[in-house]
Amino acid sequence: MAASTVSSWVPPSLPDPESSSAAASGLVLLDRRCYIADLPNNTTAESTTSRGLPIKVTFRAARPPLVSHFCVHCPGLDFRCIGPNIVATDADLVLLHVPVDPSSTFRGLDWDYFVYSPRSQWLDLLPNPDPKCLDHKATALISRDDGAWYAVAALGGRAPLYDGGALIRWEFDLHLYRSSSVSKRWISRRLSVSEFERDKLIPLPEEVDRLYHETEKTITIGGQHGTVAWVDLWRGIFFCDVLKQCPLLQDVPLPAPARGNWERILTNFDPSVLRDVTVSRNKDWIKYVELEFLSREELNPTPVSYTDWVRSNKRKYKVVPDGWKSTTWNMAIPVGSSEGWHRDCVVDVKDVSLEATDPCLSDRMATLSSKTARTLKEFPVAYPILSMDDDVVYLLSRTRPRDMDKLALMFAIDLRKATLRGLAELDVQKFIFLCNFCASEICRGT
């Protein structure tokens, strides 16, 4: 199969099944980009694509900060342009998208959507949503009745409604599929927002051309009415009970950005570099983290000559990176039953202890530091991933130690205790896709 020659799609080795099965008791970190391989185990499920080709999906679990992943095997499909991806997870169900055309474009008919259960080993092909094209960042999977049936909900944008030159409301489309419906068809409903809550706390200058809401992440909260949270990581969250007969959007602003991020919010800077939002395992709290990259100013070296000074045209001071600070917040669910966001932990990287209780972790960190001549503060980190279980945040880093190839690392930091909880090396060939990692509770019950 042609795709097997693509080295970035060859699965990395994982710990033996006995040690990796320990992940089944809690949260895992997932790589959203699937590997192309036939590595069956007790989670493998089989089905056929919309074009009649056999397909197998396998889940391979690992304990965080190692990253778990999925393997897809589909003889006859050449994933030359784009490979299978995980769109969403909820409980022990997974929604994945598989390109079925070797020259796949962004047309809906070029993709198949499957819901996969590692625990029950089934793989369900969904009706294609075409002509609707689902925004994967804005698509949620909702497991119902312990996986007996499920729903898929996607938010799509529409042009805002004006009266003359005055903005009346922002409008959206809710695309919904229920596996329990007799028709087995997608339905769409119009949603709107006329109370612009986030504009009151996090206003944007008139010259900033941006949609009111740009979904970067979607979270399934569940409950009786299938609550979904669509997260704009810069300004706010839309909450919606998608299984109600007449669903409504509730607009909840995020906390105001840290001072060091004020300029970034006005540009097209990727907010997932700095922020993450998740829901607690018991679905009773929304959790939010923000990184603030710190810096200091230093004098530039004195030029050798006046000519060098003129040609350099440099400022007297230069800005030098100086670590980071993280702030976490939480908010009770159901939203609106309390005063909103509450600041929880504020941690400066210089205060994070490297005195790990695990001797192996201490040795690995010492070896890494000796080859990089760096403290934890000097490692470049980004793309925080909040744990659903506890006060841990996972941070991605890429570095090139002396006499070593490039390294991709995942740090686990306990923010409550300000300690290094864990460290794992990642598949560096896939690390260019930085934002394709997420936390999931998929291992519960598998």
Residue 235 is predicted with a pLDDT of: 93
> How many other β-carbons are positioned within 10 Å of the β-carbon of residue 362?
15
* % pLDDT > 70, the chain: 78
Arithmetic mean of pLDDT, 149-172: 89
Residue 6 is predicted with a pLDDT of: 43
Q: Is 258 helix (H, G, I), strand (E, B) or coil?
A: coil
Q: Which of 152-156, 162-166, 306-310 has the lowest mean pLDDT?
A: 306-310
Q: Is 256 helix (H, G, I), strand (E, B) or coil?
A: coil
Rounded (10°) CA dihedral 233, 237, 238, 244: 120
Tokens for 197, please give them: 């809550």
Q: Which of 28-42, 128-142, 360-374 has the lowest mean pLDDT?
A: 360-374
Residue 24 is predicted with a pLDDT of: 47
The segment with the largest mean pLDDT, out of 78-82, 150-154, 193-197, is 150-154
* % pLDDT > 90, the chain: 47
Q: What is the mean pLDDT of the chain?
A: 83
Using H for helix, E for strand and C for coil, what is the string for 340-409? Answer: CCEEEEEEEHHHCECCCCCHHHHHHHHHHHHHHCCCHHHCCEEEEEECCCCCEEEEEEEECCCCCCCEEE
Q: Cis omega before residue 271 (within 30°)?
A: no
Q: Is residue 18 over pLDDT 80? A: no
291, 326 in Cβ contact below 8 A?
A: yes
Q: Is residue 16 over pLDDT 90? A: no
pLDDT single digits (tens) 397-408:
887 655 556 778
Residue 431 is predicted with a pLDDT of: 61
Q: In which residue are the tokens 């490979």 written?
A: 83
Residue 347 is predicted with a pLDDT of: 94
Residue 10 is predicted with a pLDDT of: 76
Arithmetic mean of pLDDT, 214-232: 95
pLDDT single digits (tens) 266-300:
887 899 999 999 999 889 999 999 999 987 665 56
pLDDT single digits (tens) 87-124:
999 999 999 999 887 666 555 568 899 999 999 999 99
